[in-house]
Amino acid sequence: MAENIESWAKELPIAYQRRSLGENLRREALWVTGLSAAALYILAQWGAQFGYWQYVVLASWYVALLLGGMAWRPLQWTVLATALPALAAVWLYAHGQTPANDWLLRYVLQGVAAVLWMSAFLLFATLAYLVHAWTGQAAIGRWATRLTWAGVIFGFIGLGVRWRETYLGHPSWGHIPVSNLWEVFVLFCASTSLFYLYYESKAENRSLGAFVMPLVAAAVGFLLWLTLVQHMDQIEPLIPALQSFWMKLHVPMMFVGYANFTVASLIGLAYLLGNWSTRHGGALAARLPSPEQMDEVMYRAIALGFLFFTVATILGAVWAARAWGGFWSWDPKETWALIVWLNYAGYLHARVVKGWRGNSMAWWSFLSLWVVSFCFLGVNLFLSGLHSYGKL
């Protein structure tokens, strides 16, 4: 176990150590070729209908997936495991199949069905992580990771198929499925679980799942309530303000920020409880990564989340100027987004410039969860404004 952050970085597996661009391209030639072929196919099929910004959206997704897959190889298999079933569902719809007459669509690949599978897998994964943290049994931990991967894959399958399904009711309704609370909670559950798996692999410790995944399970419970009680899984046309290509960039990037902030907050909780366990002779500390590792993972998650949250906020301001005539209106959602941004800017300043470490930063990370949660959900539920379309 490393004794400081710098030595821990040297102990990371080779897959996480810095490589040159040429080495990355050689190692990931299949990924680069496949992703490039997919982008060229999209251009050949629909490029004639693209405006300038559609090229920007495609290029942004291409670069993000390319770099993400090169930095973390499991992402490549996730994209493949998501895309192939989603495309199979699109093919079934294109050939006249519906959930009413095709069992595969009805029970597995339909957007809502896939989300229900995601929910089941993530709930079982949460239970497995808790048992693993309590017993320390490695086999249960491995199953917890596998169940989480299954949940992530089914979540993104559900979103991909739902994107196609938005066009089925009426072609003018078609939109990326991030337009209401139900859809963004699916995105939140899948993306938070995916980023947790990334940081789990970096820390090489599965006991962190006992802290992160219960919140994902709570989000799954809320999602099931939205589905079974509020029936928010129904596809509806977009309001005019949301009928914009900006949604394809702004919302996914915002949720990369939310996911990383959430993971960092709960690793902060693990850090605090691990220290408490050390002082009181408990067994928890022995099952968690070292404090230095958890501090570093918190920092990296917040730094990545802050980058994406900053870009998403800027894009949101540009979108607001086009939709409402001004870059900033002090709408409650905008105000709370600024509060979140200032909070994490303060964290990064304290850590990078002032050199703060340890309990104080773990408390900062953990308590920030409440700020992020209110920005993400509380504003939609309790405040009104230009973003009121997110209400129940």
Looking at the fold, whether 91 and 172 belong to one and the same domain comes out as yes
Give the span between the Cα atoms of 212 and 115, in whole angstroms: 20
Share the mean pLDDT of the chain.
87
- Reported as a single tens digit per residue, the pLDDT across 363-390 is 999 999 999 998 888 777 766 655 555 5
- Does residue 197 surpass a pLDDT of 80? yes
- Reported as a single tens digit per residue, the pLDDT across 129-150 is 999 999 989 999 999 999 999 9
Query: What pLDDT, on the 0 to 100 scale, is given for residue 201?
Result: 92
pLDDT confidence bin for 16, thresholds 50/70/90? very low
Query: What pLDDT, on the 0 to 100 scale, is given for residue 126?
Result: 98
DSSP assignments along 339-355, one per residue: HHHHHHHHHHHHHHTS-
26-31 — which CB contacts under 8 Å span 24+ positions?
A: 27/70, 28/69, 28/70, 28/73, 28/76, 31/66, 31/69, 31/70, 31/76
Mean pLDDT of 237-254: 79
Looking at the fold, whether 27 and 118 belong to one and the same domain comes out as no
Query: What pLDDT, on the 0 to 100 scale, is given for residue 386?
Result: 53
Looking at the fold, whether 323 and 211 belong to one and the same domain comes out as no
Query: What pLDDT, on the 0 to 100 scale, is given for residue 263?
Result: 97
Mean pLDDT of 313-321: 82
Looking at the fold, whether 232 and 120 belong to one and the same domain comes out as yes
Q: Which of 42, 71, 100 is the last residue of a domain?
A: 71
Looking at the fold, whether 145 and 61 belong to one and the same domain comes out as no
Which of the two residues, 172 and 63, has the higher pLDDT score? 63
Query: What pLDDT, on the 0 to 100 scale, is given for residue 18?
Result: 56
Give the span between the Cα atoms of 358 and 135, in whole angstroms: 27
pLDDT confidence bin for 10, thresholds 50/70/90? very low
Global pTM?
A: 0.89
Looking at the fold, whether 78 and 227 belong to one and the same domain comes out as yes
Looking at the fold, whether 13 and 95 belong to one and the same domain comes out as no
Looking at the fold, whether 11 and 28 belong to one and the same domain comes out as yes
Query: What pLDDT, on the 0 to 100 scale, is given for residue 71?
Result: 84
- Token pair recorded at residue 155: 């979540």
Q: pLDDT exceeding 90 applies to what percent of the chain?
A: 58
Query: What pLDDT, on the 0 to 100 scale, is given for residue 385?
Result: 53
DSSP assignments along 24-83, one per residue: HHHHTHHHHHHHHHHHHHHHHHHGGG--HHHHHHHHHHHHHHHHHHHH-THHHHHHHHHH
pLDDT confidence bin for 20, thresholds 50/70/90? low
Give the span between the Cα atoms of 25 and 31, in whole angstroms: 9
Q: Which of 212, 238, 264 is the last residue of a domain?
A: 238
Mean pLDDT of 106-126: 97
pLDDT confidence bin for 174, thresholds 50/70/90? confident
Looking at the fold, whether 224 and 204 belong to one and the same domain comes out as yes
Q: Which of 54, 71, 88 is the last residue of a domain?
A: 71
Looking at the fold, whether 85 and 219 belong to one and the same domain comes out as yes
Looking at the fold, whether 155 and 261 belong to one and the same domain comes out as no
Mean pLDDT of 300-328: 85
Looking at the fold, whether 65 and 136 belong to one and the same domain comes out as no
* Residue span of the structural domain in which 130 resides: 74-238
- Reported as a single tens digit per residue, the pLDDT across 264-308 is 999 999 999 999 888 877 778 888 999 999 999 999 999 999 999
Domain count, the chain: 3
- Does residue 6 surpass a pLDDT of 70? no
